[in-house]
Amino acid sequence: MAVIGGGPGGYVAAIKAAQLGLKTVCVEKRGSLGGTCLNVGCIPSKALLHASHKYEEITKGHLKGYGIEATAELDFGAMMKSKEKAVTGLTKGIEGLFKKNKVDYVVGHGTITGPNTLTADGKTMEAKNIIIATGSEPSPLPGVPVEVDEKRVVTSTGALSLPEVPKKMIVIGGGVIGLELGSVWSRLGSEVTVVEFLPDICAVADGDVIKTFTRILKKQGMVMQTSTKVVGVDVKPDTIVVSTEPAPGGKGEPATLECDVVLCAVGRRPYTSNLGLDSVGITTDRIGRIEVDGSFKTKVPSIWAIGDVIDGPMLAHKAEEDGVYVVEQIAGKYAHVNWDTVPSVIYTSPEVAWVGKTEEQLKKDGVAYKKASFPLMANSRARANDEGTDGFVKVITDAESNKLISAHIIAPMAGDMILPLTIGVEYGASAEDIARTCTAHPTVSEAIKEACLGIHAKPIHF
């Protein structure tokens, strides 16, 4: 079996295939395994989010409430080296896993030349099955000229490697990537303005989450300009001028904003060019996604596609699940994947996490539901830590059976807290099942139990 792409979907698929006894080769052109996620995405951004949060705790006086007086001096170079150390260690770790599991690794651009053949780095390889796992790249925005060196007008890649902290940054796009990276530079001292075309930031989240999250980010110093369209970016020697106008339905007048760095974070698009798809008759949709059936097979039965190159959430963990799903089918094993229970996380401070549909989606679909929320202000651990008390846990269940439909959290470590609720949604647990499960005290996770008690009976502490 051959896997084109060494990101989360590709390397996991390759390792799983080898574990199931399939002779496997993984082709990756970057020269460093882990894909966008590990090299210029998930991992370096989380390293900077963590480091900048520690810095902000001191510089904004957050530790004074604990009786700790401290001052901080930013060693920007050391912070960036720490980020790179994390990336390098993990990429080398994947190479070690390949060796341990006997996965062949070829560095080069993989090109499909037939139903069972591909080339890379001048080598021709044959494979009974081929998995396309080439991931995605930042989407461009007309009128925003991202620079080749990504120093002043940047994508998420450049925003992770700026040479210094900009005095002013404009983030185009109020989605997950824009808010996370905007948070990093805001904490380090940059004046950050987020310009979002839609009426709300993070429009895919639950309405209650959006309201609270927006308030928290504004309180932290980030400026939000929603219902605003960017119509041009003019890069001058000593400044960058961003021209805006109201989006359809928005209010106000055309305006200009000046900054030192512009981050274009308007989403990602599948990376499916120059793969030789046409040579074997594999088709893509209007935005470049490979068309597959329910088993993730393309029109060529021996060629499969997973992760960001097909429909579904563009998330690393979704790609991993896709990869295992395909490999288990190829190996003749039971295979399972469920996009409806893929959790989403925004790693700001506090974090935001959810699984399942929003309340607004359920209303639109005409689903009868119940809901209950528990505020972290009433949670003993959050109060004791004086951390994340603006947040909450919200659960939504089927109106008749009380089975969990979805869950939405704003809290420190919300990305970890969403796991039991994801399990509950996946396996049809009811709010009563969660409410009757003993939860350690004192923990922030007790808010999950209390929210479910709000459906099943009544919360104890609110």
**Catalytically active residues, by annotation:** 441
399 token code pair: 């109106």
Cis ω before 142 (30° cut-off from 0): no
Residues 421 and 448: their CA atoms lie apart, in Å, by 8
**Chain-centroid distance, C-alpha 357:** 17
Give residue 206's identity as a one-letter amino acid code: D
Residue 17, phi then psi, degrees to nearest 5 = -60, -45
Q: Which residues pair with 169 in a beta bridge?
A: 192, 261
Starting from the edge strand earliest in sequence, which strands make up the sheet with 261-264, in order?
A: 153-154, 261-264, 168-172, 191-195, 223-225
Beta bridge partners of 172: 195, 264
| CA-closest candidate to residue 177, choices 160, 163, 197 | 160
Measured CA to CA in angstroms, residue 353 lies from 176, 192, 310, 350, 430 at distances of 11, 23, 23, 10, 20
Cα(451)–Cα(379) distance, integer angstroms: 11
Burial-class residue 332 by CB neighbours within 10 Å (0-12, 13-18, 19+).
exposed
Closest CA to 10 of 289, 324, 333, 339: 324
Q: Could you tell me which residues are beta bridge partners of residue 39?
A: none
Q: Find residue 388's DSSP bridge partners.
A: none
CA distance 178 to 188: 16
| Cross-strand pairs, 305 | 132
What dihedral angle (degrees, nearest 10) is formed by the CA atoms of 160, 163, 169, 175?
A: 0
Cis peptide preceding 145, ω within 30 of 0: no
Strand spans (E) along 31-157 = 104-107, 111-114, 117-120, 123-126, 130-132, 136-138, 153-154
Q: How far is CA 248 from the centre of its chain?
A: 28
Helix H or strand E encompassing 454: helix 446-456
Q: What would the DSSP string read from start to end of 397-421? A: EETTT-BEEEEEEEETTHHHHHHHH
DSSP string, 364-390: HHT--EEEEEEEGGG-HHHHHHT-STT
